[in-house]
Amino acid sequence: MLKPFDEIVIAGARKPVAFFGYPNLPSSLIPRGVNTTILAGPKEDVPAALEALASDMAAQALVAIPSRIARPERPVGKLDAVTVGAAIAATMPERS
């Protein structure tokens, strides 16, 4: 999935690696030749780093407001992969 990109900027995360190490395959998911810039690590001030990048680029500040996702109804009947997921989602506490 990352192959088409010439540059990858990472903010608030580590470089992506494969879950399992396979013999003769690289563990890095970033293909060779793709430039990678770590803007801010997981324990750094990611919003400040993104704001500084936007300021350096003279980019317009936009704030994304996440939409509310409708909580599924608690399922009834036999449990399967879909109903287990719905049961967990239906009982999760609301986040503000």
Angle, vertex CA 34, rays to CA 52 and CA 9, nearest 5: 20
pLDDT in tens, 43-84: 999 999 998 998 999 988 777 777 777 788 899 999 998 899
| Whether the predicted pLDDT of 85 surpasses 80 | yes
What pTM was computed for the model? 0.55
